């Protein structure tokens, strides 16, 4: 059993690496800044400061252009909640936490971990949405509440090997499952209380319940 988990973990790491490499295949070779970067956080290597403090100039347009103008094909076909449902879920999670006196950030991601919606409550620290996304990545990868994943990985090194550097392994996120297939996840961060992440996950559940019968 442990050997199987180890193989699964190795496969997960390879898939993650494949995702990063696939994301890097752009006209300007965009790539994540580090292994801790969130999915789709791919930076073009220009118009930012280099190590010497110089602003990197724009490169020449590649042959054939950018292929991202008006009417271009969809950039992603990954399954996930629609934008409207993701917004509905995120707002419900924010309101659930607000009713309990907490200001939070909420992130809803699709089946490949890319953001569908990120909302920050009024008066909330904007960093919460990025922690929420990292929690959601945990729920997506393990296909279970992030609180349960946190409990399991502390007891099994094979499961620990499945954690990617951009995950935040703590309660606060739930997988979004349709017909036994995980199509995304919703994560919440910023609610205080004990145990850590519990109130976040309560609010994530409120968001999920808001849309679960509308998902396809």
| pLDDT digit string, tens, across residues 184-201 | 999 999 997 788 899 999
DSSP symbols for 154-167: TT-HHHHTT--TT-
CA distances from 103 to 136, 137, 176, 204 (A): 18, 21, 23, 13
Do residues 188 and 173 touch, judged by C-beta distance below 8 A? yes
Q: Is residue 216 part of a domain?
A: no
| pLDDT digit string, tens, across residues 103-130 | 999 999 999 999 999 999 999 999 999 9
Q: Is residue 156 part of a domain?
A: yes
Q: Is residue 44 part of a domain?
A: no
Overall domain count for the chain? 1
Q: Is residue 11 part of a domain?
A: no
Q: Is residue 22 part of a domain?
A: no
> What is the Cα–Cα distance from 184 to 58, expressed in whole angstroms?
35
- Owning domain of residue 199: 83-211
CATH number at residue 136: 3.30.450.150
Mean pLDDT split into 10-residue runs, the chain, 216 residues: 42 41 54 89 88 92 70 90 98 97 98 97 96 98 97 92 96 97 98 89 98 93
């Amino acid at each position: 059993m442990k050997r199987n988990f180890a193989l699964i973990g190795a496969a997960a790491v390879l898939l993650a690496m494949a995702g990063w490499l696939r994301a890097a295949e752009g006209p300007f070779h965009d790539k994540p800044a580090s292994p801790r970067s969130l999915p789709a956080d791919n930076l073009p290597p220009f118009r930012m400061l280099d190590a010497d403090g110089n602003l990197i100039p724009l490169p020449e347009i590649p042959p054939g252009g950018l292929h991202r103008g008006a009417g271009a094909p969809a950039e992603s076909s990954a399954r996930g909640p629609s934008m409207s449902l993701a917004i509905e879920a995120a707002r419900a999670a924010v309101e659930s936490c607000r009713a309990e006196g907490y200001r939070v950030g909420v992130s809803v991601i699709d089946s490949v971990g890319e953001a569908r919606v990120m909302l920050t409550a009024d008066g909330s620290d904007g960093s919460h949405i990025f922690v929420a996304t990292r929690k959601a990545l945990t729920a997506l990868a393990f296909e279970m509440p992030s609180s349960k994943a946190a409990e399991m990985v502390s007891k099994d090194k094979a499961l620990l090997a499945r954690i990617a550097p951009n995950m935040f392994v703590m309660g606060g996120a739930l997988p979004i499952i349709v017909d036994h297939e995980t199509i995304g996840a919703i994560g919440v961060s910023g609610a205080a209380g004990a145990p850590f992440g519990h109130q976040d996950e309560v609010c994530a559940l409120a968001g999920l319940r808001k849309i679960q019968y509308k998902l396809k």
